[in-house]
Amino acid sequence: MAKQKGERLIANNKKAYFDYFIDEKFEAGIALHGTEVKSLRLGHCSIKEAFVAVENGEVIIRQMHISPYEKGNIFNKDPLRPRKLLLHKYEINKIMGQAKMKGYTIVPLKVYFKDSLVKVEIGLARGKKLYDKRNDIAKKDMKREAEKEFKMRNIRG
């Protein structure tokens, strides 16, 4: 099987950008079993409910759903099992230090293939208040209206 070059998105967490300010991003590898990788190649992954925790000096992603591989029979693992994220020690220390600060949490942002390796992008995030979310919605609406006007002008043009 030929190795693919570049990045291919598997799952994206759009809700994280709506609910949090992302201050810093980290790219982490993930410890998986063979049938999980095959399932990811088919795009069967969800990180909507997932969260990241630091336990005993290890970074672990929980509630990340990888559907069982259809042809995996006895080798399939639990779809929601906790999975270890692979980071350098200094990155783990930095994340632990920031996570202890008031208001910081660690959220998974996306899962993707980088060349032939599965990677998870995690972010140090601060929660948004309701008025911050309203501002984002207002900006999005204004942008949508501007694009609509621009499109209409070009059609009449």
Q: What's the confidence (pLDDT) of residue 127? A: 79
- 44-96 pLDDT, tens digit each: 888 888 888 888 888 899 988 888 887 767 667 777 888 899 999 998 988 88
Residue environment code for 75-112, b if the CB has 16+ CB neighbours within 10 A, otherwise e = ebbeeeeebebbbeeebbeebeebbeeeebbbbbbbbb
Res. 35: pLDDT tops 70: yes
Q: What's the confidence (pLDDT) of residue 75? A: 66
Domain assignments of the chain as residue spans, ordered by start: 7-128
- 92-150 pLDDT, tens digit each: 988 888 888 777 888 999 889 888 888 999 988 887 777 777 888 888 888 888 888 88
Give 84 or 33, the one with higher predicted confidence: 84
Res. 157: pLDDT tops 70: no
Is 7-128 assigned to CATH 3.40.50.410?
no
Report yes or no: 110 and 12 within 8 Å, Cβ to Cβ: yes
Q: What's the confidence (pLDDT) of residue 4? A: 63
